[in-house]
Amino acid sequence: MVDMHSARADIGVIGGSGFYSFLEDVTEVTVMTPYGSPSDSLFVGELAGRKVAFLPRHGRGHHLPPHRINYRANLWALRSLGVRQVLAPCAVGGLQPQYGPGTLVVPDQLVDRTKARAQSYFDGEMLPDGRVPNVVHTSFADPYCPTGRAVAVAVARGHGWEPVVDGGTMVVIEGPRFSTRAESRWHAAQGWTVVGMTGHPEAVLARELELCYTSMALVTDLDAGAETGEGVSHDEVMRVFGENVGRLREVLFAAVTALPETKERGCLCADVHKGWDLGIELP
């Protein structure tokens, strides 16, 4: 295990341990942040000439529930290694019957229904070194990077994934419990597409750090209100995710190689704070 100064990457992937096992010359990197420790070490390796940092969102062994993940430390740690573009695969429930298990959704909108998560670097909290970031109101009308989204959709379709949904709304709940039928039916009635537990505050923290963030959401079940029966189970989610993890990894790796070079980023993600005095220097 090495420290953060010994490894660099420009693309980050927040996902499970199965995603980094095929990288070349993987280095395990320890990163400490002003917000504490990230979910786990970061694993840095090379994929088709691109330097990639993988971070297990829930930690190795999946021991961190969604509401206990240190999202601020995770995104800060990735940027500290040089990461400027993030791909975020996740498992979600489908809210519309046409988007059943196996559907890949690349959302373009997000609804936050979490309750108790630190979701900003600019909340007036003093850092350990005594600095206090200024109040900053970050533009978040379009939560996801348009370039990253276009790459993810094109690559998935190019690899024969069916169906791939270009756009849609992810509603993020606190968890770790699944939704009641009433909650699920309400989510569906709003026209929202999928429901998950980790997409927020990941997306907004990435935006605050001027990172390009793209969600790749694999539907593993129809949420409780969208089907009959006993509702969603953890075993069902893990089974469907396991059945699809191989092709998700293939598409994810192809997306990594198709992303533009960091210096070629032309999206608004790269300079969202232009003109603002942050009061702190980003890593």
Tens digits of residue pLDDT in 227-279: 655 556 666 666 766 667 778 888 999 999 999 998 888 898 999 988 788 98
What DSSP character marks residue 226?
G
Higher pLDDT, 181 or 1: 181
Domain that residue 249 falls in: 88-271
Please work out, in degrees rounded to the nearest 5, the angle formed at the alpha carbon of residue 53 by the alpha carbons of 275 and 59: 105
Task: Kindly state whether residue 156 falls inside one of the protein's structural domains.
Answer: yes
Task: Kindly state whether residue 59 falls inside one of the protein's structural domains.
Answer: no
pLDDT at residue 279, rounded to an integer: 87
pLDDT digits (tens, 9 = 90+) for 209-225: 999 999 999 998 887 66
pLDDT at residue 264, rounded to an integer: 85
Name 60's Cβ contacts closer than 8 Å, sequence gap at least 6.
17, 40
Name 109's Cβ contacts closer than 8 Å, sequence gap at least 6.
142, 143, 167, 168, 169, 170
Q: How many domains does the chain have?
A: 1
* Complete DSSP assignment for 127-170: PTTS--PPP-----SS-S-HHHHHHHHHHHHHTT-S-EEES-EE
The C-alpha atoms of residue 84 and residue 86 are separated, in whole angstroms, by 7
143: tokens are 């939560």
CB contact burial 4-13 (16+ within 10 A = b; e otherwise): beebebbbbb
Does residue 79 have a known ligand-binding role? no
pLDDT digits (tens, 9 = 90+) for 53-73: 999 999 888 889 999 999 999
The C-alpha atoms of residue 71 and residue 119 are separated, in whole angstroms, by 8
Task: Kindly state whether residue 22 falls inside one of the protein's structural domains.
Answer: no
79: tokens are 């940027």
Q: How many C-beta atoms surround the C-beta of residue 132 within 10 A?
A: 13
Task: Kindly state whether residue 154 falls inside one of the protein's structural domains.
Answer: yes
CATH for 184: 3.40.50.1580
Does residue 257 have a known ligand-binding role? no
pTM over 0.95: no
pLDDT at residue 247, rounded to an integer: 85
Q: pLDDT category, 2, cuts 50, 70, 90?
A: low
Does residue 221 have a known ligand-binding role? yes
Task: Kindly state whether residue 130 falls inside one of the protein's structural domains.
Answer: yes
Query: 262 burial class (0-12, 13-18, 19+ CB within 10 angstroms)?
Result: middle
Does residue 95 have a known ligand-binding role? no
Please work out, in degrees rounded to the nearest 5, the angle formed at the alpha carbon of residue 66 by the alpha carbons of 44 and 237: 90
Task: Kindly state whether residue 19 falls inside one of the protein's structural domains.
Answer: no
Task: Kindly state whether residue 134 falls inside one of the protein's structural domains.
Answer: yes
Name 81's Cβ contacts closer than 8 Å, sequence gap at least 6.
4, 7, 8, 9, 12, 29, 31, 42, 44, 53
Mean pLDDT of the region 16-41: 82
Q: Which active-site residues does the annotation give?
A: 221, 223
61: tokens are 């062994």
Does residue 223 have a known ligand-binding role? yes
pLDDT digits (tens, 9 = 90+) for 66-94: 999 999 999 999 999 999 999 999 989 99
Please work out, in degrees rounded to the nearest 5, the angle formed at the alpha carbon of residue 91 by the alpha carbons of 89 and 92: 120
